[in-house]
Amino acid sequence: MARKCNIYKCFRPVKRAVTACACISAAESGIQPTVSRDGELRRHTRAERSSPVQIIWKDRAGVDKYISGRSLDVSPSGMRVEISEAIEKQTYVTLQCVALALHGTASVRTCTRKGTKYVVGLEFSGGLQWKPKDPKPQ
């Protein structure tokens, strides 16, 4: 069954086993809502963290590339980083961020120019997951 999408003005198939379009109510689709307080479609909330990050990947020509940047925010399933060079979407990267206890692979989901830098959205893969540190008892 197809219903009209109120956000994108399109028709998307709605099935109980498949994630519905964001504009179709959870009651109609039978799917738990994934909308956060801010109206964003996110599985997890993000925590602002500014920490050094090292990223390694292969470009289209197969050449190894290395860049240092800084994290902007992080969630259990991904992070945003600011770097000086663009990375193509769907590129797999290896990242290391000692301050956040992260070392593993991620996929580039977004890459947007912001001034002279690029903001890259990474989705963790290969079982990598960020866990916030518990506050120390006083």
Quick: pLDDT tens for 39-60.
566 677 777 888 999 999 999 8
Mean pLDDT of 83-88: 96
- Which tens digits make up the pLDDT trace of 5-37? 444 445 544 444 444 444 444 444 443 434 445
Q: Are residues 117 and 52 both part of a single domain?
A: yes
> Does residue 91 sit within a domain?
yes
- As a 3-state breakdown, the chain gives helix, strand, coil percent values, each rounded to 5, of 5, 45, 50
Q: Are residues 29 and 93 both part of a single domain?
A: no
Give the integer Cα–Cα distance in Å for 27 and 92: 36
Judge whether residue 129 has pLDDT over 50. yes
> Does residue 134 sit within a domain?
no
Q: Are residues 20 and 69 both part of a single domain?
A: no
Q: Are residues 25 and 67 both part of a single domain?
A: no
For the ranges 20-29, 58-67, 127-136, which has the lowest average pLDDT? 20-29
- Can you give the pLDDT at residue 97? 92
Q: Are residues 28 and 57 both part of a single domain?
A: no
> Does residue 59 sit within a domain?
yes
Give the integer Cα–Cα distance in Å for 20 and 125: 23
- Containing structural domain, residue 103: 47-125
The whole-model pTM stands at: 0.67
For the ranges 7-11, 62-66, 79-83, 100-104, which has the lowest average pLDDT? 7-11
Q: Are residues 28 and 63 both part of a single domain?
A: no
Q: Are residues 71 and 16 both part of a single domain?
A: no
> Does residue 136 sit within a domain?
no
> Does residue 131 sit within a domain?
no
Give the integer Cα–Cα distance in Å for 137 and 76: 23
Q: Are residues 25 and 53 both part of a single domain?
A: no
Q: Are residues 97 and 72 both part of a single domain?
A: yes
**CA 10, 12, 14, 19: dihedral to nearest 10 degrees?**
-100
> Does residue 42 sit within a domain?
no
> Does residue 40 sit within a domain?
no
> Does residue 38 sit within a domain?
no
The tally of domains found in the chain comes to 2
Any idea how long the chain is? Answer: 138
Q: Are residues 68 and 108 both part of a single domain?
A: yes
